[in-house]
């Protein structure tokens, strides 16, 4: 599964093996230098990269190591892990501070814990959600 995922990620970015090797070497200058032949061997399943190489690839392509190794689908991501990660998060082009992250995490956690106790309605009609956006713009 790893060779297929690596090839798909590279093709998705429309880059050659040479460009990927060059980018990895620039992004991780203190690590072992990568070559296009080495990456080609990984894509063909001839060789298996080390844990550190998989980690570099996952960071480069902005995917999880579980995804690149075939253990998870790309569209799956646990938000709790994202909030607890060291990654910079933003909302509406505003960077979230550590306090913001903690508060949002607590709100989401409370929502899901409270959801277990809520009664589910049988209605099929969708309720309108009023976020008062117009009022905010007028103020």
Reported as a single tens digit per residue, the pLDDT across 34-87 is 999 999 999 999 999 999 999 999 999 988 888 888 877 655 667 777 777 777
Number of CB atoms found within 10 A of residue 34's CB: 21
What is the predicted pLDDT for the residue at 56? 94
Under a CB-based contact definition with an 8 Å cutoff, are residues 42 and 20 in contact?
no
**pTM score above 0.95:** no
Sign of CA dihedral 5, 62, 72, 31: positive
Domains of the chain, earliest start first: 2-68 (1.10.260.40), 79-115 (no CATH)
* Chain centre to alpha carbon of residue 100: 19
Q: Which residue has the higher pLDDT, 133 or 85?
A: 85
Token code pair at residue 36:
């296009």
């Amino acid at each position: 599964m790893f060779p297929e995922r690596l090839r798909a990620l590279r093709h998705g970015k429309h880059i050659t093996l040479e460009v990927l090797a060059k980018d990895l070497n620039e992004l991780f200058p203190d690590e072992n230098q990568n070559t296009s032949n080495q990456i080609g061997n990984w894509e063909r399943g001839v060789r298996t990269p080390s844990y550190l190489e998989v980690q570099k690839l996952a960071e480069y392509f902005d995917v999880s190591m579980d995804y690149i190794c075939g253990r998870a689908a790309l569209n799956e991501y646990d938000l709790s892990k994202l909030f607890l990660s060291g990654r910079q998060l933003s909302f509406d082009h505003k960077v979230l501070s550590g306090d913001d992250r903690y508060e949002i995490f607590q709100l989401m956690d409370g929502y899901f814990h409270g959801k277990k106790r809520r009664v589910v309605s049988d209605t099929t009609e969708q309720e309108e959600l009023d976020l008062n956006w117009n009022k905010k713009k007028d103020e």
